[in-house]
Amino acid sequence: MSRRFQHEEEVLAKAYDARLAKRLLGYLSPYRFVVAVSVILLLLVSVSELVGPYLVKVAVDQHISVGDASGLPFLAVLYILSLAAAFLLRYWQVYLMNRTGQQVMADLRQELFAHVQRLSVSFFDKNPVGRLLTRVTNDVEVLNELVTTGVVSIFGDLFTLVGISVVLVAMNARLALVIFLLIPFMFVAALLFRQKARVAYNMIRARIARLNAFMQETLSGVRIVQAFAREAKSMSKFERLNASHCEAYLKSIRYHAIFFPVMELIAATAVALIIWHGGVKTLEGTLTLGVLIAFLQYTRRFFGPISDLSEKYNSMQAAMASSERIFKLLDTVPEIQDSPSPVLLKDVRGDVEFDRVSFSYHEGEEVLRDVSFKVAAGETVAIVGATGAGKTTLMNLLSRFYEPQQGAVRIDGVDVRQVPQKDLRKHIAVVPQEVFLFSGTIEQNLRLGKVHLSQERIEEAARKVRADEFIRRLRRGYGEEVGERGTSLSAGQRQLLSFARALLHEPKILILDEATSSVDPETEHLIRDALRSLLVERTSIVIAHRLSTIRSANNIIVLHKGAVKEQGTHAELLRRGGIYARLSELQFEEQEALPPRQ
Ligand SMILES: Nc1ncnc2c1ncn2[C@@H]1O[C@H](COP(=O)(O)OP(=O)(O)OP(=O)(O)O)[C@@H](O)[C@H]1O
Ligand SMILES: [Mg+2]
């Protein structure tokens, strides 16, 4: 995993950042009514919880101590009612806040997914999928905690604290002071815990991210892992990552295990002091027994919110860190932007022109150098060149997945940078080097969401590219599930589907990038025949290593280390005796050298 990744996961954010908080509140605003109701409910919960001990005081002082049993049943019922009310109110409050939390999470995930999907292809060169997944799942989940247990219940905790303080002071100010004296100790303990727990918490997050990333990578490459018998190596690496995650967790557990008993101890000290001091006062007759009992009960409730608050501080801090990362992703602007004064391509003819194009993926590493060529509408041009020469890159520029640093790519004389991306890509279909199928049926993969296509059209396209035969042999035909990335099909079968997909797109410009590299020579031959008629109406750019497939092209461009070295027809290039002639000779010899077929 890259250092940058780790760094990003380990970043320590502030617990409260006004800028982030404001933006987060924006997500709550559609639900502000529910949030307001929830706050009110919580205040009522606090009040109803305050009532209980007070009722006990009244029962002891005004009835039991004076030997008057008459009001006791009423007080007992009130006591039960106050607890029942607290229960119901809390139920509604928890339900409402959790519902809101889920809604906010769903909104945010939706926004993230929509946004990430629109980012330029170059963004995905730099950002591993694993990290993006973490944004959409883990980081969003952390924010949920902020909504459900954070924002609103902090109000509740503070209100309970103030409420109890007021009641205590009203009952007996001196005794209340005994409790208040212990607050600084609690704050010191909470402060220490917060610092330690925060570091441990961030460590946990960073390590779980590392664990996830490793697992994801290993499992998606499981074939290679097994083929090269790397299981043991992977296992031991996983073991190390797993252990380090466990260790971080144990650390945080240790802090929790110390912190909460310490808080208990302080609370117990408060109780002890009240029994001592209050007990003496009661015996002296300056304090009623009821007040003493009420004090003991309130003391327990008083310290709960304090330790809760310091826990919440941690989740606030985590939420800030997560939201920082989420917003950073949301604020990433797509590198490729539609022109503010767009030109729509109407009635595309399909002239393609590369005009002195230079391009590099990374500054200083030029991949294309001053490339110029033209393809007239309806013609077929072939691009040949060694591996890494820049053939696929050329096509990336034509589809405007990247933009050239110099020169221009034009369709019908219009710079592709002026055409809205959607409009541009409507006219171009690519049969890519690496076919990608989505999990789903064959039909869904051919249709790609175009609901208006009839079943006949789909089958017709499949027939034209000779995919129909193998599809019909499948148990469920067009309804066969292809598995994730189409793993249940052979590479050649996937290529045929990719062909049919491109045809259904009805492009004016068709790009075939090594489109027939995985099918057998016989199928390739059949496809070529079928395509011949299809290629007439459209501009086609064929990238091929097997020169036999491109002999009939109107023009052949030989790309060498990012520059056009030769161009012409097959016959012209052979006559020239350059790179193409040499390549052609090599392939011819190879075929000769192969043992005869049986
Ligand atoms: N996304 C990318 N980021 C950075 N460099 C890239 C990227 N894609 C390709 N390259 C580099 O650009 C150069 C040209 O790659 P390209 O894919 O265009 O080659 P190609 O001619 O299609 O090769 P092949 O015949 O193997 O498909 C290579 O050196 C490659 O390392
Ligand atoms: Mg390529």
Give the position, in ligand 1's atom list, of the atom nearest the Cα of 389. Answer: 21
Can you tell me which residue has the tokens 């664990």? 211
Give the position, in ligand 1's atom list, of the atom nearest the Cα of 562. Answer: 14
In this predicted structure, which of 79-88, 537-546, 559-568 has the lowest mean pLDDT? 537-546
How many angstroms is it from 431 CA to the middle of ligand 1?
Answer: 17
pLDDT, greater one: 416 or 303: 416
Judge contact between 278 and 271, C-beta under 8 A. Answer: no
At 401, the amino acid letter reads F
In this predicted structure, which of 74-88, 217-231, 519-533, 548-562 has the lowest mean pLDDT? 519-533
Q: Please check whether the two domains, 352-427+507-593 and 437-506, share a CATH topology.
A: yes
The closest alpha carbon to 499, from 465, 529, 458, 468, belongs to 465
Q: Where are the alpha helices (DSSP H) in 353-490?
A: 391-398, 421-426, 442-447, 455-464, 468-473
Q: Over the stretch 395-409, which tens digit does the pLDDT of each residue have?
A: 999 999 999 999 999
Percentage above 90 pLDDT, the chain: 33
User: Residue range 215-238: average pLDDT?
Assistant: 88
For 374-408, the DSSP string reads EE-TT-EEEEEE-TTSSHHHHHHHHTTSS--SEEE
pLDDT band at 594 (very low <50, low <70, confident <90, very high): low
pLDDT band at 10 (very low <50, low <70, confident <90, very high): very low
CA distance 598 to 312: 76
- For β-strands 366-375 and 352-360, DSSP reports them as antiparallel
User: Residue range 517-538: average pLDDT?
Assistant: 74
Is the domain spanning 16-330 CATH 3.20.20.70? The answer is no
Residue 593 pLDDT > 80, yes or no? Answer: no
CA distance 550 to 558: 12
Residue 450 pLDDT > 90, yes or no? Answer: no
Percentage above 70 pLDDT, the chain: 95
User: Residue range 163-175: average pLDDT?
Assistant: 90
Atom 18, ligand 1: which residue's CA is nearest?
390
CA distance 315 to 386: 55
pLDDT, residue 7, reads: 42
Provide the 10 A C-beta neighbour count for residue 534.
16
How many angstroms is it from 482 CA to the middle of ligand 1?
Answer: 28
Longest dimension (CA), the chain: 123
One of 1.20.1430.10, 3.10.450.50, 3.40.50.300, 3.20.20.70 is the CATH number of 437-506, namely: 3.40.50.300
Can you tell me which residue has the tokens 């079928």? 530
Atom 1, ligand 1: which residue's CA is nearest?
125
How many angstroms is it from 369 CA to the middle of ligand 1?
Answer: 14
Judge contact between 445 and 458, C-beta under 8 A. Answer: no
How many angstroms is it from 520 CA to the middle of ligand 2?
Answer: 20
pLDDT, residue 80, reads: 94
pLDDT, residue 76, reads: 93
How many angstroms is it from 405 CA to the middle of ligand 1?
Answer: 16
Q: Where are the alpha helices (DSSP H) in 11-120?
A: 18-28, 32-58, 72-118
pLDDT, residue 2, reads: 41
Q: Which of 336, 366, 393, 397 to mutate to test the pocket of ligand 1 (most atoms within 8 A of CB)?
A: 393
Ligand nearest to the CA of 390: 1
Ligand nearest to the CA of 126: 1
The closest alpha carbon to 477, from 446, 509, 433, 501, belongs to 446
pLDDT, greater one: 235 or 1: 235
Q: Which of 367, 395, 401, 579 to mutate to test the pocket of ligand 1 (most atoms within 8 A of CB)?
A: 367
Ligand nearest to the CA of 368: 1
Residue 391 pLDDT > 60, yes or no? Answer: yes
Judge contact between 512 and 487, C-beta under 8 A. Answer: no
Atom 4, ligand 1: which residue's CA is nearest?
361
User: Residue range 73-102: average pLDDT?
Assistant: 92
* Residue 523 region by backbone torsions, left for phi larger than 0, else alpha for psi between -120 and 50, else beta: alpha
How many angstroms is it from 433 CA to the middle of ligand 2?
Answer: 6
Atom 19, ligand 1: which residue's CA is nearest?
388
At 520, the amino acid letter reads D
Q: DSSP letter at 70?
A: T
How many angstroms is it from 116 CA to the middle of ligand 2?
Answer: 25
Q: Which of 384, 387, 391, 403 to mutate to test the pocket of ligand 1 (most atoms within 8 A of CB)?
A: 391
3-state DSSP percent of the chain in helix, strand and coil, to 5: 65, 10, 25
Q: Over the stretch 336-353, which tens digit does the pLDDT of each residue have?
A: 888 888 888 888 888 999
The two three-digit tokens of residue 197, written as one number = 């727990």
Phi, psi of 373 (to 5 degrees): -165, 165
Atom 12, ligand 1: which residue's CA is nearest?
367
Q: Which fold has domain 352-427+507-593?
A: Rossmann fold (3.40.50)
How many angstroms is it from 400 CA to the middle of ligand 2?
Answer: 16
How many angstroms is it from 388 CA to the middle of ligand 2?
Answer: 7
Atom 26, ligand 1: which residue's CA is nearest?
387
User: Residue range 204-227: average pLDDT?
Assistant: 84
pLDDT, residue 595, reads: 56
Run of H or E including 583:
helix 579-593
Q: Over the stretch 470-487, which tens digit does the pLDDT of each residue have?
A: 899 999 999 999 887 777
pLDDT, residue 370, reads: 94
Provide the 10 A C-beta neighbour count for residue 594.
8
Residue 596 pLDDT > 60, yes or no? Answer: no
Q: Which of 124, 366, 392, 401 to mutate to test the pocket of ligand 1 (most atoms within 8 A of CB)?
A: 392
Ligand 1 site residues, Cβ closer than 6 angstroms: 125, 361, 367, 385, 387-393, 433
pLDDT, residue 12, reads: 52
Atom 7, ligand 1: which residue's CA is nearest?
361
pLDDT, residue 238, reads: 93
Ligand nearest to the CA of 385: 1
CA angle 511, 512, 515 (to 5 degrees): 160
Atom 5, ligand 1: which residue's CA is nearest?
361
Residue 379 pLDDT > 50, yes or no? Answer: yes
The two three-digit tokens of residue 574, written as one number = 């052979």
Mean pLDDT (the chain, rounded): 86
Domain locations in the chain as residue ranges: 16-330, 352-427+507-593, 437-506
Judge contact between 330 and 356, C-beta under 8 A. Answer: no
- For β-strands 366-375 and 380-385, DSSP reports them as unpaired
Ligand nearest to the CA of 369: 1
Ligand nearest to the CA of 432: 2
Give the position, in ligand 1's atom list, of the atom nearest the Cα of 393. Answer: 18
How many angstroms is it from 359 CA to the middle of ligand 1?
Answer: 11
pLDDT, residue 558, reads: 94
In this predicted structure, which of 286-290, 428-432, 441-445, 518-522 has the lowest mean pLDDT? 518-522
Q: DSSP letter at 440?
A: S
User: Exposure pattern of 335-353 as b/e (b: 16+ CB <10 Å)?
Assistant: ebebeeeeeebeebebbbb
pLDDT, residue 280, reads: 92
Ligand nearest to the CA of 545: 1
CA distance 255 to 248: 11
pLDDT, residue 244, reads: 92
pLDDT, residue 78, reads: 93
Residue 508 pLDDT > 70, yes or no? Answer: yes
CA distance 519 to 392: 20
CA angle 574, 357, 398 (to 5 degrees): 85
User: Residue range 231-236: average pLDDT?
Assistant: 91
How far apart, in Å, are the Cα atoms of 386 and each of 88, 513, 514? 73, 13, 12
Atom 30, ligand 1: which residue's CA is nearest?
388
User: Residue range 403-417: average pLDDT?
Assistant: 94
Can you tell me which residue has the tokens 């150098």? 369
pLDDT, residue 383, reads: 94
